[in-house]
Chains A and B, each alone.
Chain A
Amino acid sequence: SYVLTQPPSVSVAPGKTASITCEENNIGDTNVHWYRQKPGQAPVLVIYYHSDRPSEIPERFSGSNSGNTATLTISRVEAGDEADYYCQVWDSNSDQPVFGGGTKLTVL
Protein backbone atom coordinates (compact mmCIF):
# COMPACT_ATOMS: atom_id res chain seq x y z
CA SER A 1 0.00 0.00 0.00
CA TYR A 2 1.02 3.60 -0.52
CA VAL A 3 2.88 5.64 2.10
CA LEU A 4 3.14 9.20 0.84
CA THR A 5 6.04 11.20 2.27
CA GLN A 6 5.88 15.00 2.38
CA PRO A 7 8.36 17.41 3.99
CA PRO A 8 6.85 18.75 7.24
CA SER A 9 7.57 22.34 6.30
CA VAL A 10 8.60 24.55 3.40
CA SER A 11 9.43 28.25 3.62
CA VAL A 12 9.46 30.74 0.77
CA ALA A 13 9.73 34.51 0.34
CA PRO A 14 6.83 36.42 -1.21
CA GLY A 15 7.02 36.53 -4.99
CA LYS A 16 9.21 33.44 -5.17
CA THR A 17 8.31 29.89 -6.20
CA ALA A 18 7.41 27.18 -3.69
CA SER A 19 7.77 23.48 -4.44
CA ILE A 20 6.11 20.89 -2.23
CA THR A 21 6.97 17.25 -2.87
CA CYS A 22 5.12 13.99 -2.32
CA GLU A 23 7.24 10.86 -2.56
CA GLU A 24 6.51 7.16 -3.01
CA ASN A 25 7.94 4.46 -5.20
CA ASN A 26 6.57 4.77 -8.73
CA ILE A 27 4.09 7.48 -7.78
CA GLY A 28 4.48 8.67 -11.36
CA ASP A 29 2.33 5.72 -12.42
CA THR A 30 -0.76 7.05 -10.65
CA ASN A 31 -2.87 10.20 -10.43
CA VAL A 32 -1.94 12.61 -7.64
CA HIS A 33 -4.24 15.25 -6.19
CA TRP A 34 -3.44 18.19 -3.93
CA TYR A 35 -5.38 20.05 -1.23
CA ARG A 36 -4.79 23.34 0.55
CA GLN A 37 -5.97 23.81 4.13
CA LYS A 38 -5.78 27.26 5.61
CA PRO A 39 -5.84 27.58 9.43
CA GLY A 40 -9.26 26.84 10.87
CA GLN A 41 -10.74 25.96 7.47
CA ALA A 42 -11.66 22.83 5.57
CA PRO A 43 -9.32 21.47 2.90
CA VAL A 44 -9.83 22.69 -0.66
CA LEU A 45 -8.90 20.81 -3.82
CA VAL A 46 -6.25 22.81 -5.70
CA ILE A 47 -4.84 20.29 -8.19
CA TYR A 48 -6.31 17.06 -9.54
CA TYR A 49 -5.19 14.61 -12.17
CA HIS A 50 -1.57 15.70 -11.77
CA SER A 51 -1.99 19.28 -12.99
CA ASP A 52 -5.64 20.24 -13.59
CA ARG A 53 -7.09 23.06 -11.50
CA PRO A 54 -10.64 23.76 -10.34
CA SER A 55 -11.85 26.98 -11.93
CA GLU A 56 -11.46 29.03 -8.75
CA ILE A 57 -7.78 28.10 -8.27
CA PRO A 58 -5.31 30.57 -9.86
CA GLU A 59 -2.90 29.56 -12.59
CA ARG A 60 -0.04 30.11 -10.15
CA PHE A 61 -0.78 26.59 -8.87
CA SER A 62 0.54 23.70 -10.95
CA GLY A 63 1.41 20.05 -10.49
CA SER A 64 3.81 17.53 -11.94
CA ASN A 65 4.42 13.85 -11.39
CA SER A 66 7.22 11.58 -12.54
CA GLY A 67 9.19 8.68 -11.20
CA ASN A 68 9.04 8.60 -7.43
CA THR A 69 8.06 12.24 -6.86
CA ALA A 70 4.97 14.37 -7.38
CA THR A 71 5.37 18.11 -6.97
CA LEU A 72 2.99 20.96 -6.27
CA THR A 73 4.44 24.23 -7.49
CA ILE A 74 3.15 27.63 -6.44
CA SER A 75 4.53 30.54 -8.45
CA ARG A 76 4.67 34.15 -7.29
CA VAL A 77 3.82 33.12 -3.77
CA GLU A 78 1.55 35.42 -1.78
CA ALA A 79 0.97 35.73 1.95
CA GLY A 80 -2.47 34.20 1.43
CA ASP A 81 -0.88 30.96 0.20
CA GLU A 82 0.32 30.18 3.70
CA ALA A 83 -1.40 26.90 4.61
CA ASP A 84 -1.00 23.17 5.01
CA TYR A 85 -0.86 21.22 1.76
CA TYR A 86 -1.72 17.54 1.38
CA CYS A 87 -1.18 15.13 -1.50
CA GLN A 88 -3.53 12.20 -2.09
CA VAL A 89 -3.66 9.14 -4.33
CA TRP A 90 -6.00 6.21 -4.86
CA ASP A 91 -4.59 2.86 -3.80
CA SER A 92 -6.16 0.44 -6.25
CA ASN A 93 -4.75 -2.56 -4.38
CA SER A 94 -6.71 -1.77 -1.24
CA ASP A 95 -9.46 0.34 -2.88
CA GLN A 96 -8.93 3.29 -0.61
CA PRO A 97 -7.62 6.86 -0.79
CA VAL A 98 -4.33 7.67 0.89
CA PHE A 99 -3.17 11.08 2.14
CA GLY A 100 0.32 12.34 2.63
CA GLY A 101 1.26 13.66 6.06
CA GLY A 102 0.96 17.29 4.97
CA THR A 103 3.40 20.17 4.46
CA LYS A 104 3.15 23.51 6.21
CA LEU A 105 3.99 26.32 3.79
CA THR A 106 5.32 29.42 5.50
CA VAL A 107 5.58 32.69 3.61
CA LEU A 108 8.49 34.63 5.08
Chain B
Amino acid sequence: QVQLQESGPGLVKPSETLSLTCTVSGASVRSGGYYWSWIRQPPGKGLEWIGFTYYTGSTNYSPSFKSRVTISVHTSKNQFSLHLSSVTAADTAVYYCSRFTVDTTGHYFENWGQGALVTVSA
Protein backbone atom coordinates (compact mmCIF):
# COMPACT_ATOMS: atom_id res chain seq x y z
CA GLN B 1 0.00 0.00 0.00
CA VAL B 2 1.50 3.29 -1.12
CA GLN B 3 1.54 6.02 1.50
CA LEU B 4 2.77 9.60 1.33
CA GLN B 5 3.34 11.92 4.27
CA GLU B 6 4.02 15.64 4.15
CA SER B 7 6.20 17.29 6.78
CA GLY B 8 7.51 20.79 7.41
CA PRO B 9 6.78 24.08 9.15
CA GLY B 10 3.15 25.05 9.47
CA LEU B 11 3.93 28.76 9.69
CA VAL B 12 6.11 30.77 7.31
CA LYS B 13 6.79 34.51 7.34
CA PRO B 14 6.03 36.65 4.28
CA SER B 15 8.91 36.90 1.77
CA GLU B 16 10.52 33.74 3.15
CA THR B 17 10.71 30.27 1.57
CA LEU B 18 8.14 27.56 2.20
CA SER B 19 9.76 24.13 2.43
CA LEU B 20 7.98 20.79 2.64
CA THR B 21 9.13 17.19 2.39
CA CYS B 22 7.10 14.19 1.27
CA THR B 23 8.14 10.78 2.57
CA VAL B 24 7.01 7.84 0.46
CA SER B 25 6.43 4.33 1.79
CA GLY B 26 5.20 1.23 0.00
CA ALA B 27 6.78 2.36 -3.27
CA SER B 28 10.11 3.60 -4.55
CA VAL B 29 10.55 7.08 -5.96
CA ARG B 30 12.90 5.37 -8.41
CA SER B 31 9.99 3.54 -10.03
CA GLY B 32 9.45 4.32 -13.69
CA GLY B 33 6.08 5.53 -14.85
CA TYR B 34 5.44 7.67 -11.78
CA TYR B 35 6.01 11.34 -11.19
CA TRP B 36 6.15 12.88 -7.73
CA SER B 37 3.93 15.89 -7.49
CA TRP B 38 2.80 18.78 -5.32
CA ILE B 39 -0.73 20.23 -5.36
CA ARG B 40 -2.16 22.89 -3.10
CA GLN B 41 -5.62 23.99 -1.99
CA PRO B 42 -6.21 27.48 -0.55
CA PRO B 43 -8.89 27.60 2.15
CA GLY B 44 -12.34 27.10 0.62
CA LYS B 45 -10.97 26.84 -2.91
CA GLY B 46 -10.15 24.18 -5.49
CA LEU B 47 -7.08 22.14 -6.32
CA GLU B 48 -4.06 23.82 -7.88
CA TRP B 49 -1.18 21.83 -9.40
CA ILE B 50 2.27 23.18 -8.55
CA GLY B 51 4.61 20.80 -10.32
CA PHE B 52 6.28 17.40 -10.30
CA THR B 53 9.61 15.66 -10.53
CA TYR B 54 10.80 12.34 -11.91
CA TYR B 55 13.38 10.08 -10.28
CA THR B 56 15.95 11.30 -12.79
CA GLY B 57 15.60 14.79 -11.38
CA SER B 58 13.72 16.22 -14.34
CA THR B 59 10.91 18.61 -13.41
CA ASN B 60 7.79 20.24 -14.80
CA TYR B 61 6.27 23.27 -13.13
CA SER B 62 3.00 25.13 -13.49
CA PRO B 63 3.57 28.50 -15.15
CA SER B 64 1.84 30.05 -12.14
CA PHE B 65 4.73 29.03 -9.90
CA LYS B 66 7.65 28.53 -12.27
CA SER B 67 9.62 31.61 -11.23
CA ARG B 68 9.74 30.71 -7.54
CA VAL B 69 9.34 26.92 -7.16
CA THR B 70 11.83 24.08 -6.91
CA ILE B 71 10.84 20.43 -6.58
CA SER B 72 13.60 17.91 -5.90
CA VAL B 73 13.75 14.14 -5.50
CA HIS B 74 15.94 12.44 -2.90
CA THR B 75 16.18 8.81 -3.93
CA SER B 76 18.39 7.66 -1.05
CA LYS B 77 15.73 8.76 1.43
CA ASN B 78 12.72 7.87 -0.74
CA GLN B 79 11.55 11.45 -0.42
CA PHE B 80 10.86 14.48 -2.55
CA SER B 81 10.59 18.12 -1.55
CA LEU B 82 8.98 21.45 -2.37
CA HIS B 83 10.54 24.88 -2.01
CA LEU B 84 8.41 27.94 -2.77
CA SER B 85 10.17 31.26 -2.40
CA SER B 86 8.96 34.80 -1.72
CA VAL B 87 5.70 33.67 -0.16
CA THR B 88 2.76 35.95 0.58
CA ALA B 89 -0.52 35.45 2.38
CA ALA B 90 -1.94 34.16 -0.91
CA ASP B 91 0.27 31.09 -0.52
CA THR B 92 -1.60 30.02 2.60
CA ALA B 93 -3.02 26.63 1.71
CA VAL B 94 -3.09 22.92 2.38
CA TYR B 95 -0.22 21.40 0.43
CA TYR B 96 -0.57 17.83 -0.81
CA CYS B 97 2.08 15.53 -2.18
CA SER B 98 0.96 12.91 -4.65
CA ARG B 99 2.11 10.08 -6.85
CA PHE B 100 1.20 10.93 -10.43
CA THR B 101 0.75 7.91 -12.67
CA VAL B 102 1.59 8.06 -16.36
CA ASP B 103 0.61 5.04 -18.41
CA THR B 104 -1.67 3.90 -21.22
CA THR B 105 -4.73 4.71 -19.10
CA GLY B 106 -3.75 8.33 -18.75
CA HIS B 107 -2.08 10.78 -16.44
CA TYR B 108 -3.64 10.97 -12.99
CA PHE B 109 -2.97 11.44 -9.27
CA GLU B 110 -3.20 7.91 -7.97
CA ASN B 111 -2.12 8.39 -4.35
CA TRP B 112 -2.22 11.42 -2.06
CA GLY B 113 -0.73 12.43 1.24
CA GLN B 114 -3.03 13.66 4.00
CA GLY B 115 -2.01 17.27 3.39
CA ALA B 116 -0.12 19.90 5.37
CA LEU B 117 -1.59 23.28 6.22
CA VAL B 118 0.92 26.07 5.72
CA THR B 119 0.02 29.55 6.91
CA VAL B 120 1.94 32.59 5.73
CA SER B 121 1.87 35.25 8.41
CA ALA B 122 4.23 37.54 10.26
Contact = CB atoms under 8 A, between A and B. Distances in A.
Interface of A: 31, 33, 35, 41-45, 48-49, 52, 54, 86, 88, 90, 94-102
A33 B100 CA distance: 12
Given A42-B96, A42-B114, A48 B46 contact: no
Q: How would you classify the secondary structure of chain B's contact residues: helix, strand, loop or mixed?
A: strand
B82 to A, nearest CB: 16
B60 interface: yes
A48 B105 contact: yes
B48 interface: yes
Given A42-B114, A96-B62, A102 B109 contact: no
A99 B100 contact: no
Contacts of B60: 95-96
Contacts of B49: 96-99
Given A96-B49, A96-B62, A99-B49, A44 B112 contact: yes
6 contacts: A31-B106, A31-B107, A86-B47, A90-B108, A97-B49, A97-B108
Interface in B80-122: 96, 100, 105-115
Which bracket fits the contact residues of B? 20 to 34
A52 B108 CA distance: 12
Contacts of A45: 108-111
Contacts of A35: 47, 109
Contacts of B109: 33, 35, 43, 45, 88, 97
B38 to A, nearest CB: 12
A99 B37 CA distance: 14
Nearest to B112: A42
Nearest to B96: A42
